[in-house]
Chains A and B, each alone.
Chain A
Amino acid sequence: MPALPLPAETPLAWYLVLSAVLFALGVAGFLFRRNIITVFISIELMLNAVNLSFVSFSYKLKQSDGHIFSFFVMVVAAAEAAVGLAIILTVFKNRQTLEIDEVSSLKN
């Protein structure tokens, strides 16, 4: 049984696993943390996990689509950060709290 040559580069799967782990961490953070800022950072984590997948596929498949996607995601993330932080600031001003379960007036 001939020895396999060492891979010339890191396998795609490693990137994807890392991306999945980061995404799962983001989901967990979103679900289990109560501080709004932390939740917000979890969202950014998920977005960047997805970006990682895009970029890895793009690299692997030698196509630029994934890069373009990830740029779009970054732009959206930046906009979202601006709007989201503004919302968080307003919530804090009005309620003097960053506890996410206190902000539940959308119910019913």
Chain B
Amino acid sequence: MQLWLIPVFPLAGFALNGLFGRRLSKAAVHAIAVGSVLLSFLWAVKTLSGLGIFSGGLLEPYREHYYAWIQSGSFNISVDFAVDRLTAVWLGVVTGVGLLIHIYSVGYMAHEGGYYRFFSYLNLFMFFMLVLVLGANFLLMFVGWEGVGLCSYLLIGFYFLEKYATDAGNKAFIVNRIGDFGFALAIFLIGAHFGTLDFARVFESVKAMPVETQAGWITAAGLLLFVGATGKSAQIPLYVWLPDAMAGPTPVSALIHAATMVTAGVYMVARSAQIYLHSAVALDVVAVVGIATAFFSATIGLAQNDIKKVFAYSTVSQLGYMFVGLGVGAFSAGVFHVMTHAFFKALLFLGAGSVIHALSGEQDLQKMGGLARKVPITCVTLFCAGVAIAGIPPFSGFYSKDAILAAAYGRAPWIYWVGVVTAAMTAFYVFRALFLCFFGEYRGKTAEASPGHGGGHSHGHGGIHESPAVMWIPLTILAALSLVGGFIDVPSFLAPVFGEPHEGEPWLMYVSVAAGLGGILLAAWFYLVSPSLADAFVRVFRGPYRWVYHKYFVDEFYDATVVSPVIDGSRQVLWRVGDVRIVDGAVNGVGAVARAAGSLLRLAQSGYIRNYAAWVVAGSIMAIVFMEWRGGLR
């Protein structure tokens, strides 16, 4: 089936653009980049249909072996790709949504410098992401895992002349190091206990153990894997990098920091489902961390004014939902939400990018407004995404969110209720952003602003225009997917992997839908009907609002407790003592000793030949005397 071709196409695109992109025209650059992803997408579809996913096939994993990578005694790691139904979902999402975002980027990045650099990084990301989901063992997954982290870093810091962008890139990379450390430890633990890292064999062994086994190390492996997931998928306590990651270009936010890379943690936990099913503790931790993340980041999202920040916290929150799904044992529901979330969140980001593009870089919701007539297609598609994320039936978000919440109620009702509140907040902040952006009166600077300008008239926003077709066509495709994507019955599709989905009681669904509608209506009331109400509300709840507005001061807390001590410790101990005194001291000390010895020995070099001869004679005499003293030659 040649699975390897799927990731190799983007790799070839990366190599071509990375090596020769500087000399190619923009048209050639994006033809290579988009073409390679298109080939990858088509090959993935062909392969998957060949394996029969459209006709009820692929019940067993399909696997291809390429070569042995590491061989050490009985410990073997080979480069193998495997496809099962779980991987198939990700393959579709990554190549499909990735293709749409590549196409969109052609329009979005048209006026930016570093065009070839952007596309080569994006292709490299596609390669690593596909390796991540195709790899048939933990180490190959780790390769993809680290590779997407690298590309994320490169693309967050894409505008590397801006300090905030490079800072955000560093933050993402360093925070992810913490998570990756946990993942690496989990891999070591698994390798040490099973003597293999191959998914099939590891999970076979785990499965053979009785369910009652509460072996501490299984829990440890599950928790350490989840530490990795909290880093990559932005969960408490390592979520802080994701909102900052919005410093990258908007297509990057959509592709990497909403649709694909951040779901890698979900993939990893879902892939390791057998391990979690054998450790109730680890599973509970996943669920609790997920619901806490969903709730807290939703509250932060309520008060953000940067449109991308709102969607970033929304992403963190929705990722929390996915982990709730995994944590309550409804793995297929979590994966379902990954797919629908990829549609509507990529759409939200791309739509936001379209608005930002139209406003020439403005991201502040306070300076938008009344854009519905200026960018009608963007407006309509964004509302499609809005109803999808708010969980309004029959749109995609409803099905996946409902599946998660129903399963959560079965496990622990309090998780369900927190999830419902979160759903209401989700609907509220998404529609708040959309209303602020598209309705009301334009609050930004007009292109021809005059001092006596009263504001609010709808003419004269000369610079504001709808995005080109290459941008809005992907938007409409994603909008269609956001609306109807829920009819793709992922939980049933994944039944061969995770078992039959959990059916909830109908009233659970009514409550969550009511919560979503309530959130939308509240947003409409606050921001459409009586806009002054929101400000009054803020005045009344000044204290809580300040906490939420400043993101609970989590960044400041981390700065004070982790970052500053590390920096101060590095500076005072590692630099001033460790580096300057010990390392430099040793190196410089060796040099100083050599120089001092040389300045003494130099005196022996008189330049007089007879002097040297005298040294030779003296040395010979000493050698002879020494040999005699030791007993002479024998």
List residues of chain A with CB under 8 Å of any chain B CB. Answer: 27, 30-32, 34, 39, 100-101, 103-108
Contact = CB atoms under 8 A, between A and B. Distances in A.
A106 B610 contact: no
A107 B609 contact: no
A21 B199 CA distance: 86
Contacts of B450: none
Given A27-B617, A31-B617, A108 B610 contact: no
B606 A107 contact: yes
B608 interface: yes
Interface string B252-291: 0000000000000000000000000000000000000000
27 contacts: A27-B613, A27-B617, A30-B610, A30-B613, A31-B613, A31-B614, A31-B617, A32-B610, A34-B610, A39-B610, A100-B608, A100-B609, A101-B608, A101-B610, A103-B609, A104-B606, A104-B607, A104-B608, A105-B607, A106-B605, A106-B607, A107-B605, A107-B606, A107-B607, A107-B608, A108-B605, A108-B607
Contacts of A27: 613, 617
Chain B facing A: main interface SS: helix
Contacts of A103: 609
A14 B605 CA distance: 39
Contacts of A31: 610, 613-614, 617
Given A39-B610, A108-B602, 9 more contacts: A27-B613, A30-B610, A30-B613, A39-B609, A100-B608, A100-B610, A104-B608, A107-B605, A107-B608
Which among A34, A105, A106 has the greatest number of chain B C-beta atoms within 10 A? A106
Q: Report the 3 A-B pairs with minimum CB-CB distance, sorted nearest first.
A: A107-B607, A104-B607, A106-B607
Contacts of A32: 610
Nearest to A103: B609
Nearest to A105: B607
Contacts of A107: 605-608
A104 to B, nearest CB: 3
Contacts of B614: 31
A16 B608 CA distance: 31
Contacts of A106: 605, 607
A84 to B, nearest CB: 12
Interface in B602-629: 602, 605-610, 613-614, 617
B567 to A, nearest CB: 49
A51 to B, nearest CB: 18
A91 B167 CA distance: 68
B539 to A, nearest CB: 84
Contacts of B610: 30-32, 34, 39, 100-101
A31 B612 CA distance: 9
B599 to A, nearest CB: 10
A67 B493 CA distance: 96
Contacts of B617: 27, 31
B352 to A, nearest CB: 73
Nearest to B609: A100
A34 B607 CA distance: 14
A105 B617 CA distance: 22
Contacts of B602: 108
Contacts of B608: 100-101, 104, 107
Nearest to A43: B613
Contacts of A30: 610, 613
A42 to B, nearest CB: 9
A105 B605 CA distance: 10
Nearest to B620: A27
Nearest to A36: B609
Nearest to A42: B613
A39 B608 CA distance: 13
Contacts of A34: 610
A100 B614 CA distance: 14
Contacts of B609: 39, 100, 103-104
B245 to A, nearest CB: 62
A76 to B, nearest CB: 17
Contacts of A101: 608, 610
A47 to B, nearest CB: 14
Interface string B588-609: 0000000000000010011111
A20 B614 CA distance: 18
B488 to A, nearest CB: 85
Contacts of B606: 104, 107
B316 to A, nearest CB: 70
A24 B559 CA distance: 81
